[in-house]
């Protein structure tokens, strides 16, 4: 069988930052090296045929970025081997290699060349690139004036125009607007037919589910599972829930307060990381003050995985009373989780007197499964009603026969 | 600069290059470093594939160097004039000041003498400084797409040469205007530019790699640049310093500058030896660069 990419027992070791030799320590006569190995990846086997769409999921720090780097050929594995056939185009992060002072047009040429296109190929595909990115009227504007969405559109457009044999996709797609996202997914589906292998690295479960047939779950650099998407996603969710508890054990000091736990409680009263859209939930923060404080304020912010703030509120103005040193507190935020499908982060903060807001690490990652057909960020829980005829509009009334045989649907027939 | 090449260019300075791309040129460059896949088993890269990929990256180097040069002067009203004008102003000021303090033993007009030193020196020292940081500065690209990391230092050095070439023309004109004459030795300007490029590139290749591992390099370089400038022979012929002067020819910058002067008939007695020493430096440093890049090319990224 021909393969498009193959990883055999790949391991990647990094030096921990504090062990990186400084000039002086290198020059010193008896340099003591207390190297600590940090294996970002270990024993990864992977094979994909042309046209396969692979997903790689895992928590932050699970080795996803290292995986991308190895597939891009940017870094070499410490052990094992990696083999990739054909042209690789990375679509990682927003507008890599774009120079802010250059116009969109100039950046297309520079970026296209970096991706391995010749001038002639770029000339030929230029209009197509611009059209796909929907940037006809901005193409001669320096990209520093572009919005992040425009950046991504142009970046994606150039990357796919390079007709890569292997397309590496990071979280980037989450940045573009919905319409463009669908367009990208359509394009990727088309590329699958053309035999392009795609590796999508993301914690956007939706994107993975939509694009990938096979998914690799990474945990602490070790592959936990490689197989069908649905199975992989449920394994991933279990992993996230299991490690969520570990995090709660850590402590962090902020504003004289000590972090004990941050939990998401579902409508049944159980801690979880996975809630339904429209569910009544509680974000419960437990902490302890290391010194006496009066009327501390609490805040909570919920962001999408791309960092967009969805909702934030605080207890400002509410007299919360006096806390003695060592006294613990519980901060419950009850809300109806009107979010669409996706992964989100919650972060809490504390403000004591006028010392400013202190974010209390770590954050809580959670997933929401929402209703189909809902788009955007928030589920405003609309009900749609369709009736015939507008009162007062005589011309618009159906006069011949009452059309009752077609039932009104409450779902729009889009997509 | 033709980073773009169709439709209305946004600024007139961008039009120039369209016609210069021969059709065969483009075809030859169709294959690029990233187009053929790769297989990695070790951290080090075998020499032949590394060199082949470097050669395949030539069109990439050219377009990136052009971008680099263009971006540097884009927002300046006088654009390219700065690249030529700045060393000219420096040379004039230094010639004026030095002529008040001391007598230069210059066989040609003082301003021309100093300008012929400052021109290659500026290209060399800025190439070294930006070259040293080039891999680290390009973290965003370097961590995402692979092409030989040597491309980064070569690009910044090359972009400096877009300013050197018109500067050399100005040098010759200035030489003639100030009463100098031009003989057959003027052809030495070509190897002079070549030597300047080789020397700067070989230094930049080594320093850029070291900078990834030892972030002190940049500062050490900044510290020695000024004393090096005064010792580089921009203001003097080594032989005019008597016995001490003999040692100066071991400085690679001296050989490089003397070759430029030799082209104007002002190379002095010992320039051939100094030039060979500079060539030796380039060859030696290139050899070191090959070893370092061969070993670390694929893992520089781990420390970015």
Q: What is the pLDDT of residue A356?
A: 61
- Burial of B12 from C-beta contacts in 10 A (0-12 / 13-18 / 19+): exposed
Cβ atoms of A170 and A202 within 8 Å: the answer is yes
Chain A residue nearest residue B301, CA to CA: A75
Best of A37, A91, A118 to disrupt the B interface (most B CBs within 10 Å) is: A118
Q: Are residues A196 and A101 in the same domain?
A: yes
Of A27-31, A306-310, B73-77, give the range with the top mean pLDDT: A306-310
Q: Are residues B217 and B160 in the same domain?
A: yes
Q: Are residues A285 and A179 in the same domain?
A: no
Chains A and B form CB pairs within 8 A to the count of 151
> Do the bridges between strand A5-15 and strand A37-48 make them parallel or antiparallel, or are there none, so unpaired?
antiparallel
Distance in Å, alpha carbon of A211 to nearest chain B alpha carbon: 22
> What's the CA gap between A248 and A268, in Å, rounded?
20
Q: What is the pLDDT of residue A171?
A: 67
Residue A86 lies in a domain: yes
Which residues constitute the domain of residue B67?
46-303
Could you tell me if B22 lies within 8 Å of chain A, comparing CB atoms? no
Q: What is the pLDDT of residue A158?
A: 87
> What's the CA gap between A391 and A127, in Å, rounded?
49
- Verify whether the Cβ–Cβ distance B145 to A110 is below 8 Å: no
CATH code of residue A106: 3.40.50.300
What percent of chain A lies above the pLDDT cut of 70? 78
User: Which has more pLDDT, B37 or A178?
Assistant: B37
Cβ atoms of B152 and B134 within 8 Å: the answer is yes
- Identify which of B5, B40, B217 has the shortest CB distance to residue A73: B40
- Verify whether the Cβ–Cβ distance B40 to A77 is below 8 Å: yes
- Verify whether the Cβ–Cβ distance B27 to A14 is below 8 Å: no
- Of A102, A110, A159, A105, the C-alpha closest to B62 is A110
Strand partners, A90: A168
Q: Are residues B168 and B193 in the same domain?
A: yes
Cβ atoms of A349 and A361 within 8 Å: the answer is no
Q: Are residues B6 and B81 in the same domain?
A: no
Q: Is the pLDDT of residue A178 over 80?
A: no
Cβ atoms of A249 and A362 within 8 Å: the answer is no
| The last residue of a domain, from among A337, A354, A369 | A369
> What's the CA gap between A90 and A110, in Å, rounded?
15
Cβ atoms of A91 and A155 within 8 Å: the answer is yes
Structurally, chain A folds into a number of domains equal to 2
> What's the CA gap between A372 and A341, in Å, rounded?
9
Q: Are residues B74 and B156 in the same domain?
A: yes
> What's the CA gap between A27 and B213, in Å, rounded?
13
Q: What is the pLDDT of residue A409?
A: 46
- Verify whether the Cβ–Cβ distance A101 to B75 is below 8 Å: yes
Q: Are residues A195 and A103 in the same domain?
A: yes
Partners of B34 on chain A (C-beta within 8 Å) are 73, 87-89, 115-116
- Of A384, A378, A371, A382, the C-alpha closest to A411 is A384
- Verify whether the Cβ–Cβ distance A96 to B21 is below 8 Å: no
Cβ atoms of B116 and B171 within 8 Å: the answer is yes
Could you tell me if B59 lies within 8 Å of chain A, comparing CB atoms? yes
Q: Is the pLDDT of residue A85 over 90?
A: no
Q: Are residues A155 and A224 in the same domain?
A: yes
Q: How many of the other CB atoms lie within 10 Å of CB of A209? A: 15
Average pLDDT over residues A384-410: 63
- Burial of B245 from C-beta contacts in 10 A (0-12 / 13-18 / 19+): middle
Could you tell me if A117 lies within 8 Å of chain B, comparing CB atoms? yes
- Identify which of A14, A120, A165 has the shortest CB distance to residue B26: A120
User: Which has more pLDDT, B4 or A318?
Assistant: A318
> What's the CA gap between A201 and A198, in Å, rounded?
10
Q: Is B284 helix (H, G, I), strand (E, B) or coil?
A: helix
Partners of B75 on chain A (C-beta within 8 Å) are 101
Could you tell me if A93 lies within 8 Å of chain B, comparing CB atoms? yes
- Of A190, A173, A192, the C-alpha closest to A181 is A173
Distance in Å, alpha carbon of B296 to nearest chain A alpha carbon: 10
Q: Which of residues 199-238 of B touch A (CB under 8 A)?
A: 213-214, 216-217
Does the complex come out with an ipTM higher than 0.85? no
Q: Is the pLDDT of residue A195 over 90?
A: no
Strand partners, A345: A303, A365
In tens digits, chain B (304 residues) has pLDDT values of 344 333 333 333 333 333 333 333 333 333 333 456 788 887 888 888 888 889 988 988 998 898 888 888 777 767 777 777 887 888 888 878 877 777 666 778 888 888 899 899 999 999 999 999 999 988 888 888 888 999 999 999 999 888 888 889 989 998 999 888 888 889 999 999 999 999 999 999 999 999 988 888 899 999 999 999 988 888 877 777 777 777 888 899 999 999 999 999 887 777 888 899 999 999 999 999 999 999 888 888 888 7
Full DSSP string of B210-256: HHHH-TTHHHHHHHHHHHHHHHTTSS--GGGGTTTHHHHTTSHHHHH
Q: Are residues A221 and A274 in the same domain?
A: no
Q: Are residues B137 and B276 in the same domain?
A: yes
- Burial of A51 from C-beta contacts in 10 A (0-12 / 13-18 / 19+): middle
- Give the CB-side neighbour count of residue A10, counting CA atoms within 13 A: 32
- Identify which of A81, A126, A140 has the shortest CB distance to residue B40: A81
Could you tell me if A26 lies within 8 Å of chain B, comparing CB atoms? yes
| Low-confidence winner among A352-366, A392-406, B47-61 (lowest mean pLDDT) | A392-406
Distance in Å, alpha carbon of B83 to nearest chain A alpha carbon: 19
Could you tell me if B20 lies within 8 Å of chain A, comparing CB atoms? no
Distance in Å, alpha carbon of A366 to nearest chain B alpha carbon: 28
Q: Are residues B28 and B109 in the same domain?
A: no
Q: Are residues B182 and B251 in the same domain?
A: yes
Cβ atoms of A174 and A305 within 8 Å: the answer is yes
Q: Are residues A194 and A273 in the same domain?
A: no
What percent of chain A lies above the pLDDT cut of 90? 4
Could you tell me if A201 lies within 8 Å of chain B, comparing CB atoms? no
State pLDDT tens for residues A211-235. 888 999 988 888 988 988 888 888 8
Which residues constitute the domain of residue A353?
251-369
> What's the CA gap between A280 and A338, in Å, rounded?
9
User: Which has more pLDDT, B10 or A149?
Assistant: A149
> What's the CA gap between A84 and B112, in Å, rounded?
56
Q: Are residues A267 and A330 in the same domain?
A: yes
> What's the CA gap between B266 and A356, in Å, rounded?
69
> What's the CA gap between A299 and A348, in Å, rounded?
6
Structurally, chain B folds into a number of domains equal to 2
Q: Are residues B198 and B287 in the same domain?
A: yes
Strand partners, A142: A103
User: Which has more pLDDT, B19 or A258?
Assistant: A258
CATH code of residue A276: 2.70.50.60
Partners of A100 on chain B (C-beta within 8 Å) are none
Residue A361 lies in a domain: yes
- Verify whether the Cβ–Cβ distance B144 to A92 is below 8 Å: yes
Chain B residue nearest residue A117, CA to CA: B30
- Verify whether the Cβ–Cβ distance B5 to A119 is below 8 Å: yes
What band does A87 get if pLDDT is binned at 50, 70 and 90?
Answer: confident
Could you tell me if A75 lies within 8 Å of chain B, comparing CB atoms? yes
Q: Is A73 helix (H, G, I), strand (E, B) or coil?
A: coil
What band does A347 get if pLDDT is binned at 50, 70 and 90?
Answer: confident
- Verify whether the Cβ–Cβ distance A119 to B29 is below 8 Å: yes
First to last CA, chain B: 31
Best of A8, A101, A116 to disrupt the B interface (most B CBs within 10 Å) is: A116
Distance in Å, alpha carbon of A274 to nearest chain B alpha carbon: 32
Residue A405 lies in a domain: no
- Verify whether the Cβ–Cβ distance A87 to B147 is below 8 Å: no
Could you tell me if B101 lies within 8 Å of chain A, comparing CB atoms? no
Report the b/e string of A322-345 with b at 16+ CB within 10 A.
ebeeeeebebebeeebbbbbbbbb
Could you tell me if B33 lies within 8 Å of chain A, comparing CB atoms? yes
Average pLDDT for chain A: 78
Q: Are residues B125 and B197 in the same domain?
A: yes
Cβ atoms of A98 and A151 within 8 Å: the answer is yes
Partners of B43 on chain A (C-beta within 8 Å) are 76, 78
Helix runs in A58-139, H state only:
64-72, 104-114, 119-133
């Amino acid at each position: 069988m021909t393969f498009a990419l193959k990883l055999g027992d790949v391991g990647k070791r990094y030096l921990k930052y504090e062990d990186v030799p400084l000039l002086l320590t290198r020059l010193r006569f008896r340099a003591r090296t207390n190297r600590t190995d940090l294996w970002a990846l270990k024993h990864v086997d992977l094979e994909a045929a042309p046209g396969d769409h692979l997903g790689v999921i895992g928590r932050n720090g699970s080795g996803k970025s290292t995986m991308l780097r190895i597939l891009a050929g940017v870094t070499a594995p410490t052990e094992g081997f990696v083999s990739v056939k054909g042209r690789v185009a990375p679509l990682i992060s927003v507008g890599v290699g774009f120079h802010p002072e250059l116009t969109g047009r100039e950046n297309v040429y520079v970026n296209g060349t970096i991706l391995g296109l010749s001038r002639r190929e770029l000339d030929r595909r230029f209009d197509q690139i611009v059209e796909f990115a929907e940037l006809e009227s901005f193409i001669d504007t320096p990209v520093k004036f572009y919005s992040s969405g425009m950046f991504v559109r142009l970046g994606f457009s150039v990357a796919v125009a390079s007709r890569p044999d292997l397309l590496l996709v990071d979280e980037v797609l989450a940045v573009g607007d919905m319409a463009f996202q669908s367009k990208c997914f359509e394009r990727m589906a088309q590329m699958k037919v053309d035999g392009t292998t795609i590796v999508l690295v993301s914690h956007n479960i939706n994107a993975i589910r939509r694009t990938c047939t096979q998914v690799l779950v990474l945990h602490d650099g070790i592959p936990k599972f490689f197989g069908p998407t649905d199975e992989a996603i449920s394994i991933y969710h279990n992993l996230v829930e299991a490690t969520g508890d570990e995090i709660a054990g850590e402590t962090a000091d902020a504003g004289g307060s000590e972090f004990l736990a941050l939990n998401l409680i579902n409508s049944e009263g159980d801690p979880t990381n996975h809630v339904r859209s429209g569910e009544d939930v509680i974000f419960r923060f437990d902490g302890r003050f290391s010194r006496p404080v009066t009327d501390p304020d609490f805040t909570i912010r919920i962001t999408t995985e791309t960092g967009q703030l969805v909702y934030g509120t605080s207890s400002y103005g509410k007299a919360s009373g006096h806390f003695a040193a060592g006294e613990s507190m519980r901060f419950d935020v009850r809300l109806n989780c009107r979010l669409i499908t996706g992964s989100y982060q919650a972060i809490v903060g504390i403000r004591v007197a006028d010392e400013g807001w202190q974010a209390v690490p770590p954050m809580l990652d959670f997933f929401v499964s929402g209703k189909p057909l809902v788009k955007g960020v928030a589920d405003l829980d609309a009900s749609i009603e369709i009736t015939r005829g507008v009162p007062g509009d005589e011309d618009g009334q159906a006069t011949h026969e009452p059309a009752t045989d077609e039932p009104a649907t409450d779902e729009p027939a889009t997509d | 600069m033709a980073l773009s090449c169709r439709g209305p260019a946004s600024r007139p300075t961008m039009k120039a290059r369209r016609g210069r791309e021969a059709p065969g040129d483009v075809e030859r460059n169709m294959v690029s470093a990233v187009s053929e896949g790769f297989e990695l088993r070790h951290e080090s890269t075998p020499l032949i594939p590394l060199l082949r990929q470097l050669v395949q990256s030539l069109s990439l180097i050219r377009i990136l160097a052009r971008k680099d040069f263009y971006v540097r002067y884009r927002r300046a009203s006088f654009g390219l004039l700065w690249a030529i004008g700045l060393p000219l102003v420096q040379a004039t000021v230094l010639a004026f000041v030095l002529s008040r303090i001391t007598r230069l033993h210059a066989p040609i007009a003082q301003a021309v003498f100093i300008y012929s030193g400052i021109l290659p020196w500026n290209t060399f020292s800025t190439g070294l400084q930006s070259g040293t940081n080039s891999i680290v500065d390009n973290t965003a690209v370097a961590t995402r797409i692979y092409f030989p990391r040597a491309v980064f230092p070569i690009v910044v050095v090359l972009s400096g040469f877009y300013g050197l070439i018109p500067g050399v023309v100005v040098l010759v004109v200035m030489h003639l205007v100030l009463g100098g004459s031009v003989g057959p030795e003027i052809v030495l300007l070509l190897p002079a530019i070549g030597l300047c490029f080789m020397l700067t590139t070989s230094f930049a290749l080594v320093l850029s790699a070291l900078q990834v591992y030892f972030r002190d390099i940049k500062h050490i370089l900044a510290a020695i640049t000024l004393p090096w400038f005064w010792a580089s022979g921009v203001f003097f012929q080594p032989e005019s310093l008597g016995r001490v002067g003999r040692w100066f020819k071991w400085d690679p910058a001296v050989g490089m500058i003397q070759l430029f002067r030799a082209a104007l008939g002002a190379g002095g007695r010992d320039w051939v030896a100094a030039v060979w020493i500079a060539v030796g430096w380039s060859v030696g440093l290139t050899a070191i660069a090959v070893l370092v890049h061969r070993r670390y090319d694929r893992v520089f990224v781990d420390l970015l």
